[in-house]
Structure 1
Amino acid sequence: MMNTQTYPTETAASGAGGLKYDNRYYEREEAHHARDRFWTGFFLSLILFFTLNPLACLPYMLGWRYRKSDVPRARKWGRLSWLMFWATLAAVTCLWLCAIIVIPIAVGTTVGRRDAEAAAAAARQQQQTPP
């Protein structure tokens, strides 16, 4: 009988203390790793962009980049840009909190559930085929 397990499990056919592996498990894990790397890079680049972008505006907000003739206009835009700065800072803070707290917890529970399902499947297989 062919081994259709998706996780490495000890089987009666694998000899004393040996493991019989199914390649599909490794292929699927590689696909998961590639997907996780993509999304990690994607979110990190977004977070870095939204973190560094407001910093580029700081000289304008602090009034270091205005000529004397621009002062009345600069005051008007200065108020607006400070509002935008704080709004962006709040958004960046939320993004960082998600990146540091929410996303790892979500990924951890998903991986934990997958591991628990694998352990349950291995236990069922062990019960069905006693040594």
Structure 2
Amino acid sequence: MKTRMILLALLLSTAAAAPAATSAPFAEPTTTVAAGGYMMIISRVSMGFNAQASIVTVSPDGKEQVKEIDFSRFSAKQMAANMTEVHKAAMAAVNQYTADGWRLVNVSPSDVISGGNTVFSQTIYYLEKK
């Protein structure tokens, strides 16, 4: 039951974000945020019939930028290497923003959820700028 609830929450959050997603590269960090603000960097992977991965940046004004990560599925060894690439891309995004004055305030650990023949994994990095 708990797994189903988590899967439902993940699917709803992904579905809600899907219409606004673009495949544009990350924008350069900006220092024009008003007095304060929060942003999220979301590392997400789905493995199944259509394996895919992306890093999603949600800025303080709610705008999203999506960077697709190559995620081919040839072998277990390749899948493990691909997961490392996704984590490296997420860390590069976090480092890019922390260098511009953003501060990492929380990380929601990766959840692995199985829904039928598809497995989802997502890690969320929360950043703050005062």
The structure with more helix, counted as a fraction of residues? 1
The structure with more strand, counted as a fraction of residues? 2
Larger RCO (CA within 8 A; separation ≥ 6): 2
**TM-score exceeds 0.5:** no
TM range (shorter): under 0.3
